[in-house]
């Protein structure tokens, strides 16, 4: 995973040197992203009871996103974005119990500052929901079900326009998907490319 992160930084550094013909941070966009995901789960209250995991898992994640940017001032961009992602080999296990995320969707607001006409530094905050398969053991043997984990997320990153239609980004996100007395923390480092309409 360290190699993926280092590679992501190298890609974005190289893209930052590429010329761009016009700004793209105003209007609708659609894109895809890949990266590293780290889930840390302690105690989780589910539809089949309390599941004790107390472990973490690193995995690969990929997905798509769509949003809308609006330039409200010469250097300020505000927007909204929604995304959908799927992880690979991302089940967090401890003994007979496991939580295996199937997919995740999120909705967030973004606020950015144009440090140049082609480079946007931004922060985000919003809602994230992860659908997961649950497995645990009880007096009747192994119990399986599905449940939703949701909560708030925050993050930030840098996005660079490469052409008048295409931009690339590097981003970090944190999400808290645990409720009261629960622990389900998620960290992501993502590299994405967007087409701006």
How does pLDDT run across 54-113, given as a tens digit for each residue? 999 999 999 999 999 999 999 999 999 999 999 999 999 998 899 999 999 999 999 999
Range(s) of the domain holding residue 111: 2-196
Tens of pLDDT, residue by residue over 164-194, are: 999 999 999 999 999 888 899 999 999 999 9
pTM score, whole prediction: 0.85
Q: Are 61 and 191 in contact (CB under 8 A)?
A: no
Share of residues in the chain with pLDDT > 90 (%): 75
54, two tokens: 């107390």
Residues 11 and 171: beta-carbon distance below 8 Å = no
Residues 6+ apart with CB under 8 A from 139: none
Instruction: Tell me whether residue 190 is exposed, middle or buried, using C-beta atoms within 10 angstroms of its C-beta: 0 to 12, 13 to 18, 19 or more.
Output: buried
| Residue 125: CATH number of its domain | 2.40.160.20
Listed range (44-48, 125-129, 161-165) with the worst mean pLDDT: 44-48
The number of distinct structural domains making up the chain is: 1
The pLDDT of residue 180: 82
């Amino acid at each position: 995973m360290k190699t993926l992160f280092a590679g992501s930084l190298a890609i974005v550094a190289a893209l930052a040197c590429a010329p761009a013909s016009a700004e793209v941070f105003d209007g609708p966009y659609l894109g895809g992203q890949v990266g590293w995901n780290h889930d840390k789960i302690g105690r989780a209250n589910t539809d089949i009871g309390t599941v004790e995991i107390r472990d973490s898992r690193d995995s690969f994640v990929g997905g798509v996103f769509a949003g809308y940017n609006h330039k409200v001032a010469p250097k300020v961009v505000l927007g909204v974005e929604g995304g959908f992602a799927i992880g690979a080999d991302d089940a967090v296990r401890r003994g007979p119990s496991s939580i295996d995320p199937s997919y995740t969707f999120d909705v967030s607001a973004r606020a950015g500052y144009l440090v140049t006409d082609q480079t946007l530094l931004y922060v985000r905050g919003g809602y994230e929901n992860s659908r997961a398969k649950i497995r645990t053991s009880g007096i009747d043997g192994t119990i399986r079900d599905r449940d939703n984990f949701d909560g708030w997320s925050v993050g930030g990153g840098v996005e660079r326009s490469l052409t008048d239609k295409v931009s690339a980004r590097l981003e970090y996100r944190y999400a808290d998907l645990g409720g009261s007395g629960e622990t389900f923390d998620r960290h992501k480092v993502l590299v994405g490319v967007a087409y701006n309409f």
